[in-house]
Structure 1
Amino acid sequence: MGLFDGIIGNASEVNLEKLREEVNDLLTPHETIKNAYKIIRDTLIFTDKRLILIDKQGVTGKKTQYHSIPYKSILHFSVETAGTFDLDAELKIWISGNELPIQKNFNKTTNIYKIQSVLAEYVLGK
């Protein structure tokens, strides 16, 4: 279901070593990638310092927007688990200064509790 999940906007986990090579220039010298998820061409990266959203734009995907969200800017977040007939789990993140949340869907095999745990660790403090 990988291609189907991508088409409907669901995310899957990314190999962190390969991703680290691709985004090394985005990271600060002491920043560590904790988890990462890919949705078709877009990527969510959870580091120990911030959340990075990578949005590939255009037909070729060469134009890219990098959105960096410090954890202190996250007001609150919610997760919704996948159900029997609902094939995706959902993450919503409310950012200071934005009325609407950032919303991402994950396939049923993604551990939404792990994502919630990573966010909670950094938003709530260690």
Structure 2
Amino acid sequence: MAGNLFGKMAADTFGLSDIGKIIDQKDFDKVDGDDYIMHEDGEKIFFVIKSKSDEYVFTNRGLLHVDGASAVSKKRTVRRHEFSNEKVHSITLETAGTVDLDVEIKFSFENTDFSIDVDKNQLEKLKDLYKTLLEISRIQGLNYKLLDDGKNGLKMANDALSRCKIEGNNIAKIAEDLTNFNLDFMEALRRTYNNRDFSEVYEKYINN
């Protein structure tokens, strides 16, 4: 136990650990991840954590992870996680102990887990990100519930119609109209309850 503790202290002291730094807004355009942001489509950076080998770029649409194989390698892998496709969950913030030089934020995008060490002197800024991710997770959870309620309501309506007797020569037209209605209804549900842009949440909690 003592060996592990002193090993961690030595790694932190001599810069061998991978503690991230929160980047100021004025320097967002200097990070590698900025090259992969969809600026043309209104994507905007709100928060960046940069370590020796990785960048975590939080945008109004999700997370861009620029993954470095090592601190000395120039090879990078860029992965995107979008709020419209993946739910954010399991958000925790671990503050520093007496001898720790870093704090840690953990969260998941669907089935992908993240654990990021950050300089403990930047804890207050990291709290803003923690609150932002919590609120996005809450909104996503509510939206998923409302989306499911809408789907279930539509299914109940279709089941009721299927038990009705339809007579006449316009059965094909009725079927076509019902199909189009279902498609339009589902598209409206997705537009309403599947947020793609969380700019307002970032602007509420992130203090730049």
Whether TM-score is above 0.5 comes out as: yes
Partner of 1:96: 110
C-alpha contact (below 8 Å) 2:47/2:59 kept by paired residues: yes
After superposition, the C-alpha distances for 1:74-112 in whole angstroms (9 at most, x for unaligned) are: 2321111113233321111123235xx321111111223
Q: How does 1:6-45 map onto structure 2 within 5 Å?
A: 7-21=16-30, 22-28=32-38, 29=40, 30-45=42-57
Query: What is the TM-score with the length of structure 1 in the denominator?
Result: 0.77
Aligned partner (choices 49, 71, 75) of residue 89 of structure 2: 75
Bigger Rg over Cα: 2
Partner of 1:54: 66
C-alpha contact (below 8 Å) 2:106/2:114 kept by paired residues: yes
Q: CA deviation at 1:5?
A: 8.0
Q: Give the alignment's Cα RMSD to 1 decimal.
A: 2.5
C-alpha contact (below 8 Å) 1:32/1:48 kept by paired residues: yes
Q: Distance in 2 between matches of 1:5 and 1:52?
A: 29
After superposition, the C-alpha distances for 1:12-31 in whole angstroms (9 at most, x for unaligned) are: 11244443254343112201
Structure 2 unaligned blocks of 5 or more: 1-11, 140-200, 202-208
Q: 1:51 to 1:82 in 2, by over 3 A?
A: same
Partner of 1:122: 136
| Aligned amino acid, residue 35 of structure 2 | D
Q: Distance in 1 between matches of 2:118 and 2:106?
A: 11
Structure with the bigger percentage of strand? 1
Query: What is the TM-score with the length of structure 2 in the denominator?
Result: 0.50
Structure 1 unaligned blocks of 5 or more: none
Structure with the bigger percentage of helix? 2
